[in-house]
Structure 1
Amino acid sequence: MDVIAYTDGSARGNPGPGGYGAVLTCTVASGKQHKLELSGGYRRTTNNRMELMGVIVALEALNRPCNVTLHSDSQYVVKAFNDHWIEGWVRRGWKTAAKKPVKNVDLWQRLLAAKEPHQVSFVWVKGHAGNPLNERCDELATTAADSDELIDDIGFADAD
């Protein structure tokens, strides 16, 4: 099954309250189109963590292996895969090329696990440039960040 996913993250302050949004679309064999929107918010987090959570939640929502074209306005996320940063981080035991600890390891590891059963291609999209699904993800993320129903980001440390 081919899935188109758009994801975004937001933080009100960095760190501060944050949220993520994801929109997944697919067309099943009968020709029927499906759309799923996902979002959630955290009391204290960072924009990068929320960008990662948008991707993670989108991939974790898939209940069978899929071909996923994942659109994100986060260079952090897209370059980690397209420029093969993550392969080096894993090879070096989650250290950067400068031998410093990689930030957000908990979420990178969760993302790798969520990505494992799928064929995922990462596509960068310019944020706030009128792309309807990217704009919808931004709306979902910011609405979640502004919500009264925020949860704790257990893996967050002020080091990000």
Structure 2
Amino acid sequence: MKMFVFFMEIVDEINNDFRIRITEDKKQGLYTEIVFNPNKKELRFLSEDKLETYLKQNEYQLRKILHNKRKNTFYKGFKLKFALRDEKDVAAFNDRSKIVVLDKRNGSNESYVVDKGEEIIHKIYTDGSFMEKLDIGAYAVLVEDLEGKYKIYSQKTEAKSSSLIELMAAIRGLKVLKSIEKVRIITDSQYVRKGLTEWIVNWKINNWNTANGEKAKNIEYWNEFDELTKNKYIEFEWVKGHSGHFENSLCDIYAREKAKNN
């Protein structure tokens, strides 16, 4: 799936209608303009050219960036780089029943969606827990080899964000399987599932800033996660937490027990 990088700048504002100039990153002289109203979520295209046609073909991705940007961060002079995946199947990426694949072998960085992953693959089950009353957290990682044998790893942490703890668990699992090329990560965290397959691209091209112009959270851990996936084929499978999924429930139990015990 090809990826193209663009540059946007808010050049004017009238009654909450923000005129935004969009330039293809490698063709700074060519641009098109759109108008977006963050209060009404209204988007208007102002011209008819090849760049506008491409943006219309990938309108859902463009809208997602604009819709997720906070209203108070729209102002004249705001600049942002953003990447669009050519003809991305957004509905498939948002379908939590599907598996998102990140393939970084042979120097590539491809992400796509499949209904079913590899039949024979090493699996990493993760879960994290932050105990507010104890002001401590912990995570657990269950690693399953190709023969179906399990090994459990758990670790207490002073991190106070459940999302970060979930990310730390996935990192630990990849460290355990550092020499394995193909891995599936099974998690109940959308933060983990989407971060590396969708969000990190835009963070990195903006020097780790978000669409709101703020630093992304947990940059150190995302950098480590990104590095650990180099030259690997990673499948991300999402499971609903506390839904009776055996391995996820087991990880939850181990994480909670680890957090409670001194």
Q: Same fold (TM over 0.5)?
A: yes
Show the counterpart of 1:25: 144
Higher relative contact order (CA 8 A, sep 6+): 1
Structure 2 letter corresponding to 1:89: W
Measure how far apart 1:118 and its partner are.
2.1
- For residues 63 and 73 of structure 1, what CA distance do their matches in structure 2 show? 22
4+ long deviations beyond 4 Å: none
1:108 partnered with 2:222: yes
1:2 partnered with 2:121: yes
Show the counterpart of 1:12: 131
- For residues 64 and 44 of structure 1, what CA distance do their matches in structure 2 show? 27
State how 1:87-102 maps to structure 2 within 5 Å: 87-102=201-216
1:141 partnered with 2:255: yes
Show the counterpart of 1:78: 193
Show the counterpart of 1:157: none
Residues 109-153 of structure 1, C-alpha deviations (whole Å, 9 max, x = no match)? 1111222242111111100000000001111211121121xxxxx
Given candidates 45, 59, 68, the residue that maps to 2:160 is 45
- Relative to structure 1, is the Cα distance of residues 44 and 107 closer, same or farther in structure 2, using a 3 angstrom cutoff? closer
Q: Give aligned pairs, total.
A: 143
Measure how far apart 1:66 and its partner are.
2.3
Show the counterpart of 1:69: 184
- For residues 48 and 39 of structure 1, what CA distance do their matches in structure 2 show? 16
- For residues 195 and 125 of structure 2, what CA distance do their matches in structure 1 show? 17
Show the counterpart of 1:155: none
1:127 partnered with 2:246: no
- For residues 226 and 212 of structure 2, what CA distance do their matches in structure 1 show? 22
Residues 60-90 of structure 1, C-alpha deviations (whole Å, 9 max, x = no match)? 00141321111110111112134x1111111
Task: Could you tell me which runs of 5 or more consecutive residues in structure 1 were left unpaired when the two chains were aligned.
Answer: 149-160
**Does the 8 Å contact 1:15/1:45 carry over to 2?**
no
- For residues 59 and 75 of structure 1, what CA distance do their matches in structure 2 show? 18
Task: Could you tell me which runs of 5 or more consecutive residues in structure 2 were left unpaired when the two chains were aligned.
Answer: 1-119
Quick check: which has more Rg, 1 or 2?
2
Measure how far apart 1:44 and its partner are.
4.8
Given candidates 149, 154, 169, the residue that maps to 1:54 is 169
What percentage of residue pairs aligned between the two structures are identical? 29
Other structure's SS at 2:122 match: strand
Structure 1 letter corresponding to 2:227: A
Other structure's SS at 1:108 match: helix
- Root-mean-square deviation (CA, aligned residues, Å) is 1.9
Other structure's SS at 2:149 match: strand
Residues 94-122 of structure 1, C-alpha deviations (whole Å, 9 max, x = no match)? 11111111111111111112222421111
Other structure's SS at 1:33 match: coil
